[in-house]
């Protein structure tokens, strides 16, 4: 079985920021954050719990996860 896809370890695969996907998909940053909230495989950097009113969490979205969510959106389902 031959595949055109090269096997890349997960840590070496492309990871996107929310802003990069928002620009690419022409969605708002808030929409992209909502789409990937709780999505398995997304990397959360920062504190989900903060003493401040606003929590500061950066997301890194692996290409494989972005492809999965994009395919789901093409099929007409947000989740």
Check whether 48 has a pLDDT greater than 90.
no
Check whether 68 has a pLDDT greater than 50.
yes
What total of structural domains would you count in the chain?
Answer: 1
SS3 15: strand
Please report whether residue 53 resides in a domain.
Answer: yes
Percentage of residues in the chain with pLDDT exceeding 70?
Answer: 71
Please report whether residue 18 resides in a domain.
Answer: yes
Report the C-alpha gap between 25 and 28 in whole angstroms: 9
What residues make up the domain containing 30?
11-74
**Whether 47 contacts 57, CB under 8 Å:** yes
Q: Are strands 15-16 and 57-62 parallel, antiparallel or unpaired?
A: antiparallel
Please report whether residue 1 resides in a domain.
Answer: no
Please report whether residue 58 resides in a domain.
Answer: yes
Question: Between 38 and 1, whose confidence is greater?
Answer: 38
Q: What is the pLDDT of residue 1?
A: 44
Please report whether residue 2 resides in a domain.
Answer: no
Please report whether residue 6 resides in a domain.
Answer: no
Q: What is the pLDDT of residues 13-40, one digit of tens each?
A: 899 999 999 999 999 999 999 999 999 9
């Amino acid at each position: 079985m031959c595949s055109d896809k090269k096997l890349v370890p997960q840590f070496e695969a492309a990871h996107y920021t929310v802003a990069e996907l928002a620009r690419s998909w022409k969605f708002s940053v808030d929409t992209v954050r909502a789409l990937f909230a709780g999505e398995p495989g997304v990397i959360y950097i920062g504190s989900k719990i903060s003493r401040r009113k606003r929590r500061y969490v950066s997301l890194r979205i692996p290409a494989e996860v972005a492809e999965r969510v994009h395919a789901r959106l093409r099929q007409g389902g947000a989740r």
